[in-house]
Structure formats: C-alpha cells, structure tokens
Chain A
Amino acid sequence: AQSVTQPDIHITVSEGASLELRCNYSYGATPYLFWYVQSPGQGLQLLLKYFSGDTLVQGIKGFEAEFKRSQSSFNLRKPSVHWSDAAEYFCAESGGSYIPTFGRGTSLIVHP
C-alpha cells in the first residue's frame, strides 16, 4: 500500500526565518505529489503539486517544493515565514491509485 510520511509532527520557527517541511512517499514509480495547507477551522487548500517536468515547483503564498526521486522526497520550503503561515500542512501522493494518500500532517507554529 502507498504511504506518505511526514516525520515532523510539529515545527516551530520564528517569523522571518526559513522553513522546510519534510515529506517522503513510498510509491515506486513517479507519483503525483501535493502539498495542502489547513488553517484553523478550515478545509484543506492546495499549495502546489507536481506530476512531471521541472522538479522544483512553485506554489501559492511564496511556497515551493522540490521532488527528489533518489530520496523519495517532496519537501516544502519557504524562505521567510510570516505569522499567517501558522497552520497544518499535509503532503499527499497519488500513484498507482487515483485516490490520494495523505500524510499525518505537520503543525507549523510561528513565533513573533
């Protein structure tokens, strides 16, 4: 079965600092990969996705992610975090199935 691992349950950063959230997937072939963000009391919203081409993907709100096949990773990055980025972040992949598999999420806490 496919699986997505987000090893960090919580991440705390200071406002203005850089951010990297980790994601590893298990699908053997090239998967479709997604990052979603969930603000408190809201549903999930797509930040970015990868399915082919350039391995560095740009998303909304200044986020980017890099697909690394050799590491089975799709880490999310942002050069300078804003207080409004505090939220839950979910990595997801759909490969052999059209139904995406979501990770457990990483909670981002931003200190002023």
Chain B
Amino acid sequence: DAGVIQSPRHEVTEMGQEVTLRCKPISGHNSLFWYRQTMMRGLELLIYFNNNVPIDDSGMPEDRFSAKMPNASFSTLKIQPSEPRDSAVYFCASSRTSGGADTQYFGPGTRLTVL
C-alpha cells in the first residue's frame, strides 16, 4: 500500500499567486481530511470529505481557500490569492470509514512558504 500521497512536498511562491496542493488517499478509504500545521496554532482541521462530499468546512480560514474532491482517489486544496500568513505544513489524511474510532492515515505533508 502506497499510503496517502501528497504533492508537491515543498512549495515556495510569492504573495498573490495561486497555490494548488494535491492529495491521493489510500484506495478504499471513504473519508478525507485536510489539516494545516503551524507553530502558533498547532494542527487545525480545514475540511472533511466523506464519500467525496464536503461534510465540514468550518475550518477553512476564508474565501481564499477552496477544496475539491472530484473522485474517490483525488483531492485538491487551493489558495488564491496566497498570503505570507498561509505559510504552513498542509497535511492530507484519509480513513477507511467515517466512524469516530477509525484511524487516520496521514500523508507526508506539503510545506508551503509564501514570500
């Protein structure tokens, strides 16, 4: 099993540019989560999909952030326009079901730096 795959692993961009982060969950998993990790705020849940449908996006910071899951094997998180305060590590995680006892499997993360 390849695990959760994220790309790119590192992204450096300038303020105002569009950034797209990509995630491929583990095959057969029906729940997908996007998190942001910073020193100041720790690990924050941005959005949660179940069966490709966004269930909870209350953690999305503002309209500059959007996420899609067009099929069970692919999701994107887009920031447009990007700002320096968006600099963080962004993680994608998937779980087999939507059950609260289910383990989340995390990808290696994308380290985003906005200059």
Q: List 16 A-B contacts (CB under 8 A).
A: A32-B100, A36-B106, A41-B108, A42-B109, A43-B107, A44-B43, A49-B103, A51-B101, A98-B99, A99-B33, A99-B45, A99-B48, A99-B56, A100-B100, A103-B42, A104-B42
Contacts of A49 in B (CB 8 A): 101, 103
Residue of A at shortest CB range from B6?
A43
Indicate if A73 sits at the interface (CB-CB under 8 A): no
Which residues in B have some Cβ–Cβ distance to A below 8 Å? 4, 33, 42-43, 45, 48, 56, 91, 93, 98-101, 103-109
Chain A residues 69 to 112 lying within 8 A of chain B, measured CB to CB, are 90, 94-95, 97-100, 102-105
Indicate if A11 sits at the interface (CB-CB under 8 A): no
Contacts of B98 in A (CB 8 A): 98
